[in-house]
Amino acid sequence: MNRSDLVRLSKRMSLALRHQPERFGLTPDRAGWVPVEVFLAALRIGRANLDAVVAGNDKQRFAVERGPDGAERIRASQGHSIPVDLGLAPSSPPPVLYHGTGAEAAESIRVTGLHRGGRHHVHLSPDVATARRVGARRGAAVVVFTVHAAAMARDGHLFYRSANGVWLVDAVPAGYLSG
Ligand code: HQG
């Protein structure tokens, strides 16, 4: 597979594991896991291609591990819109985190704070460069907000860190944002 085939397959895998498993005849367990064997059959792909996407993925979106029954299983590490419990423990965030978005959303965010869209959490990046890449999905004019994460945590907001290093929180009230 070339790079664009890998990206296309990664998007199909995201759709199947995060958003519309039923379209592929899949029923992830409550933590979002699907047996690898079942997943390969449902997407009609071979193991080598799955491994290429999992290993080569720019953001390590997918996790493969051996489940309690000894069989391998796969899930997306974050970004679901289907109900899943990733089983993440709350974790102390660094002093600040970042959120990149499109300029047209910025004014509303300054007023109402950050809300999760269709996903389970607001997604925050550990560094400006990553936030800028996330925001660039919304167009050329990117705004990067600084989130005063340690202050939020002190005030009782729970933060989670996904297996691929994305910070997750229910919402960010406007008072903790600058930028
Ligand atoms: C915006 C991708 C107006 C928010 C990325 C964002 C990330 C508001 C959009 C991951 C708002 C939600 C998540 C408000 C939030 N007014 N707009 N009050 N509050 N928004 O896609 O953070 O490739 O659910 O700024 O790289 O963009 O899928 O979140 O633009 O890591 O692995 O509402 O998705 O990863 O959009 O991206 P999303 P996101 P993957």
Burial of 128 from C-beta contacts in 10 A (0-12 / 13-18 / 19+):
middle
| DSSP letter for each residue of 121-160 | SEEEBSSHHHHHHHHHTT-S-EEEEEE-HHHHHHTT--EE
**CATH number of the domain enclosing 33:** 1.10.10.970
* Structural domain of 165: 97-178
User: Which of 15, 47, 76 marks a domain boundary?
Assistant: 76
Q: How far is CA 120 from CA 2, 33, 69, 86, 138, in A?
A: 32, 17, 28, 11, 19
pLDDT number for residue 63: 95
Which atom number of ligand 1 is nearest to the Cα of residue 119? 24
The tens place of each residue's pLDDT in the chain, 179 residues long, gives: 888 999 999 999 999 999 999 999 999 999 999 999 999 999 999 999 999 999 987 778 999 999 999 999 999 999 999 999 999 999 999 999 999 999 999 999 999 999 998 898 999 999 999 999 999 999 899 999 999 999 999 999 999 999 999 999 999 999 999 98
pLDDT number for residue 116: 94
| DSSP letter for each residue of 109-124 | HHHH-EE--SSSSEEE
Cβ(17)–Cβ(62) under 8 Å?
A: yes
Q: Which residues pair with 169 in a beta bridge?
A: 122, 159
Q: Are residues 140 and 70 in the same domain?
A: no
What is the model's pTM?
A: 0.90
Which atom number of ligand 1 is nearest to the Cα of residue 112? 18
Q: Are residues 172 and 101 in the same domain?
A: yes
- How many structural domains are present in the chain? 2
pLDDT number for residue 3: 87
User: How many A from CA of 46 to the centre of ligand 1?
Assistant: 31
**CATH number of the domain enclosing 130:** 3.20.170.30
Q: Which of 14, 77, 110, 114 to mutate to test the pocket of ligand 1 (most atoms within 8 A of CB)?
A: 114
pLDDT number for residue 58: 72
